[in-house]
């Protein structure tokens, strides 16, 4: 088989680019320890009713004055469906799924997590502005995917 000079150059370039990209991903994942949001916390998706904090979904104030919100996603909604949190406080969302992969994306913020059964993902956010925030599922999860939403009301303290 005869390879033209330019084909060889482009093959070399393509192969080198592939190695560089895979190395970047590998170093980031294994050396720098990048994990899903919240680390690698595991949970049994069939036993959420008896696993804290998912046995009591909702907003919980912690001793240091910050808030933790436990959310369970399942086709096609979130539990709880509506919450209230104060403006200006740290709010840590802990989310997991009972069934399939969903997502937890708070519109107009940078909170945007995958929600994977068996895994706990978490993200902390401070809401500066009071108002209503919409949470949507942006991971296609079935026929009711487009109905899947939740609401956060951020109130002045
Ligand atoms: Cu849940 Cu899409």
Q: Does residue 135 have its Cβ closer than 6 Å to ligand 1?
A: no
**Closest ligand 1 atom, residue 142 Cα:** 2
* DSSP code string of 113-132: EEE-BTEEEEEEEE--S-EE
Tokens of 73: 């996603």
Q: Alpha-carbon distance 83 to 58, whole Å?
A: 7
Q: Alpha-carbon distance 67 to 45, whole Å?
A: 23
pLDDT of 5: 93
Q: Does residue 139 have its Cβ closer than 6 Å to ligand 1?
A: yes
Confidence of residue 107 (pLDDT cuts 50, 70, 90): very high
Confidence of residue 30 (pLDDT cuts 50, 70, 90): confident
List of E strands, 62-155: 67-74, 77-79, 82-86, 90-97, 102-106, 112-115, 119-126, 131-136, 149-155
The model's pTM is: 0.81
Burial class (CB in 10 A: 0-12, 13-18, 19+), 26: exposed
Q: Does residue 137 have its Cβ closer than 6 Å to ligand 1?
A: yes
Q: Does residue 147 have its Cβ closer than 6 Å to ligand 1?
A: no
| Residue 78 bridge partners (DSSP) | 73
**Closest ligand 1 atom, residue 145 Cα:** 2
103 CA from centroid of ligand 1 (Å)? 6
The answer to whether residue 132 scores a pLDDT higher than 80 is yes
The answer to whether residue 38 scores a pLDDT higher than 90 is no
Q: Give Dmax over CA atoms of the chain in angstroms.
A: 75
């Amino acid at each position: 088989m005869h390879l033209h000079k330019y084909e060889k150059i482009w093959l070399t370039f393509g192969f080198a680019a592939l190695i560089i990209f895979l190395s970047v991903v590998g170093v980031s994942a294994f050396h720098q320890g990048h994990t899903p949001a919240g680390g690698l916390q595991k949970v049994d998706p069939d036993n959420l009713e008896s696993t804290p904090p998912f046995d009591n979904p909702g907003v919980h104030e912690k001793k240091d004055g910050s808030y933790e919100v436990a959310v369970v996603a399942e086709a096609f909604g979130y539990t709880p469906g509506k919450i209230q949190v104060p403006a200006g406080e740290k709010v840590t969302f802990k989310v997991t799924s009972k069934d399939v992969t969903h997502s937890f994306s708070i519109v107009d913020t940078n909170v945007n997590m995958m929600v994977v059964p068996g895994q706990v993902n978490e993200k902390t956010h401070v809401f500066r502005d009071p108002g209503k925030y919409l949470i949507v599922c942006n991971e296609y999860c079935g026929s009711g995917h487009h109905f899947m939403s939740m609401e956060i009301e951020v109130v002045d303290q």
